Chain A
Amino acid sequence: EDKVVQSPLSLVVHEGDTVTLNCSYEVTNFRSLLWYKQEKKAPTFLFMLTSSGIEKKSGRLSSILDKKELFSILNITATQTGDSAIYLCAVEGFILTGGGNKLTFGTGTQLKVEL
């Protein structure tokens, strides 16, 4: 069964700190790993990673994938209170029932950034 484990489960930091969120996975026929930010209700897309060792970057956020060790990290530098959210990791893999691929989500890391 496909599995995604995120750590830490929750984290409290001060503004300006740098944080690293971890995601490890076991999935059949890996296709991609995605990071989402969930504030209040709907997750919003951050990154999709398909190749090992290539960093994706968007402003203060960056992410990298290691397909050999089966994990990814999400870095946030110079954190701000607006970064407070749940960060979800999801992995796309192949499913058999009905065909096609699906996303398996981790439980997320709850990040709180304080002043």
Chain B
Amino acid sequence: EADIYQTPRYLVIGTGKKITLECSQTMGHDKMYWYQQDPGMELHLIHYSYGVNSTEKGDLSSESTVSRIRTEHFPLTLESARPSHTSQYLCASSEDSGRAVGEQYFGPGTRLTVT
């Protein structure tokens, strides 16, 4: 059983608010990822990290930012939420070495609705 957690699970928030989506894993994985998934659509990588103080943008442009100060924690922040940010956000981690990704363990996701 993978130990990766996301909070909140559901969030409804007004336009312009700042929000932080939390993601934590207890497996000691160096690699962590944030995906965005709209209903019926594929997962799109928006951010990833290969370890502490390492963050990169993924292949889907996103106005969110991330930080990686601790191995186990990879929060995602939206400074000013907009309705276009409404989506499901999935956090994942993997333990493969070097550049490889390997099997990813996913958190339960955060369903974000911006009104």
Contacts and interface: CB of A to CB of B under 8 A. Distances in A.
A88 B105 CA distance: 14
Chain A binding site: helix, strand, loop or mixed by DSSP? strand
Interface residues of A, number: 27
B59 to A, nearest CB: 7
A44 B4 CA distance: 12
Contact of B56 (A45, A97, A103): A97
Contacts of B109: 41-42
Interface in B82-115: 88, 90, 99-109
B45 A103 contact: yes
B106 A102 contact: no
A105 interface: yes
A32 to B, nearest CB: 7
A94 interface: yes
B104 A103 contact: yes
A62 to B, nearest CB: 18
Contacts of A101: 99-101
Interface stretch (B36-44, B61-69, B72-80): B36-44
A107 interface: yes
Nearest to A32: B102
B42 A105 contact: yes
B50 interface: yes
Greatest chain B CB density within 10 A among A36, A48, A101 is at A101
B34 interface: no
A107 B48 contact: no
Given A45-B104, A102-B48, A95 B43 contact: no
Given A44-B106, A102-B45, 13 more contacts: A36-B106, A42-B107, A42-B108, A43-B106, A48-B103, A92-B100, A92-B101, A97-B57, A100-B56, A101-B100, A102-B48, A105-B35, A105-B44
Interface of A: 4, 31-32, 34, 36, 41-45, 48, 88, 90, 92, 94-95, 97-103, 105-108
5 contacts: A41-B108, A90-B43, A97-B57, A101-B100, A107-B40
